[in-house]
Amino acid sequence: MKIDLRKIYRFDALERLPDGGLPKGGNVYYECNECKVIVASVSHIKVACDCGNLTGGGGMTEVKDAAKVTPLKGTLR
């Protein structure tokens, strides 16, 4: 099942960490620049973006290519 998180959250751009890494947290989401799918940075349900760059589940999200990811802060609408 696919949930469009944009219908639930308002997303604002988030700065990368000083070392260029991706921030992480309960209100942090990753947008895949390839397929534009948004995945939570801490995902307890099994999710994946369409191109496979982001895969989540079990409380973590794996990022294959961090350069193709935009970190976002999600706020409930």
How would DSSP label each residue in 43-75? -SS-EE-TTSSEEEETTEEEES-GGGEEEEEEE
Name the region of 57 (left: φ>0; alpha: ψ -120 to 50; beta: rest). Answer: left
Quick one: 56 or 74, whose CB is closer to Zn ion?
A: 56
Shortest Å distance, C-beta 20 to Zn ion: 20
Quick one: 49 or 72, whose CB is closer to Zn ion?
A: 49
Quick one: 40 or 76, whose CB is closer to Zn ion?
A: 40
Q: Which residues bind Zn ion (CB under 5 A)?
A: 32, 34-35, 49, 51, 53
